[in-house]
A and B are shown apart, each in its own frame.
Chain A
Amino acid sequence: MTEQWRLLQTGFKNAYSNMAIDKAILVANSEGKVPPTVRFYGWDPAAISIGYFQSLVEEVDIQACERFGIDYVRRITGGGAVFHEKELTYSVVVPESHPEMPRNIMQSYARICGAVMRGLHQLGIESEYAPINDIVTAGRKISGNAQTRKLQTVLQHGTVLMDVDVNTMFSLLKVPNEKMKDKLIADVEQRVTSMRHILGKEIRFNEVARAMKIGFEEEFHVELNEGKLRKEELNLAKQFEKESFSTRQWNFRR
């Protein structure tokens, strides 16, 4: 019988809640309370997430975020700053010992990115993995990914860009040199793409989620069954949100 994993569709939530839920799933899975889990989600309000090792004040224009009502949050994963707006975000939580999950970190990035690439293929978009942690289509980034390993468990989350607004993004991120800002925006616009850009039309979140579900099922040879967060996970998520992700202490720690 095909192995059954859990699929969570948690809708659109704020940044603290989104990051807290990913961590809660990791903890619950590490304790054997829930099966390997794939989650699809979005962000409301739009938000900036920064990598675990980044400095919030160096990367993010806090005042601009507050003016535009944009959340900001530090992730538990490394990597760079991301503006989450028109995208599908996925997370996947699997024990390190799972036979389908390479022990080697770079290989496991490639494998999980493989699921996203298969999902994109379902939508008629061909892409390739661009190490360390990107997926590109025709040489332009369409997905960024970040992985952590804690409690013998792999958590990887990443974005799949449905549409992209580089101008808005750079009104929220700090740039090293204000004078070079226009050139930087032009450069990034050349290096980033989105489903809308490739397909020439808007695409719905649910359509992307359907495609990504197939991508994960094919890549990991599993069946994804739609489920819910367990009560314990919801409690853990609330705790993580309150104790870390929504606090200044966590977000400004570097």
Chain B
Amino acid sequence: MQSHSIYKVPQGKLLKISLEYDEKKNVITDICITGDFFAYPEEAIELLETKLKNITLGRKQLLEKISSIIAEYHIQFIGVNAESFTEGILMCKP
């Protein structure tokens, strides 16, 4: 299943997500994150996209996974955060 979302982060930037997911297993199979936010280092976005594959599409699971990637790789996002990524991803689900 393919889906998109556009989420204006409150006090932040515009986050656009293209998601491919397995409806039966409820997991992400592919994700592309775009938008006018900032990330330090920039390459962290590709890492985040890779690490989100096979993650369950649930608020708790996503938030935990994204927060742990941000902490582990010392990524600094400006205009988006773990909550906004989670929100944008969940918005892709009907």
Contacts and interface: CB of A to CB of B under 8 A. Distances in A.
Interface string A37-62: 00000000000000111110010000
B40 A105 contact: yes
Main secondary structure of the interface of A (DSSP, over half): loop
B39 A105 contact: no
Contacts of B14: 80
A137 interface: no
B47 to A, nearest CB: 13
A149 B79 CA distance: 16
A132 B38 contact: yes
Interface residues of A, number: 23
B92 to A, nearest CB: 15
A52 B40 contact: no
A210 interface: no
Given A106-B78, A132-B13, A78 B34 contact: no
A150 interface: yes
Contacts of B32: 55, 254
A58 B14 CA distance: 13
Most B Cβ at <10 Å: residue of A79, A81, A105, A146: A79
A78 B42 contact: yes
A51 B13 CA distance: 12
Contacts of A53: 33-37, 39, 42, 45
B40 A58 contact: no
A81 B35 CA distance: 10
Most A Cβ at <10 Å: residue of B35, B36, B78: B36
Contact of A105 (B12, B45, B78): B78
B76 interface: yes
Given A105-B76, A106-B78, A132-B78, A54 B35 contact: yes
Nearest to A133: B38
A52 B45 CA distance: 10
Interface in B48-81: 76, 78-79
B36 A76 contact: no
Interface in B1-31: 6, 12-14, 16
A147 B34 contact: no
Most B Cβ at <10 Å: residue of A77, A81, A106, A254: A254
Interface of A: 51-55, 58, 76-81, 105-106, 132-133, 146-150, 176, 254
Given A105-B40, A149-B40, 13 more contacts: A51-B35, A53-B34, A53-B39, A53-B42, A53-B45, A54-B34, A54-B35, A78-B37, A78-B79, A106-B78, A146-B38, A148-B42, A176-B6
Interface of B: 6, 12-14, 16, 32-42, 45, 76, 78-79
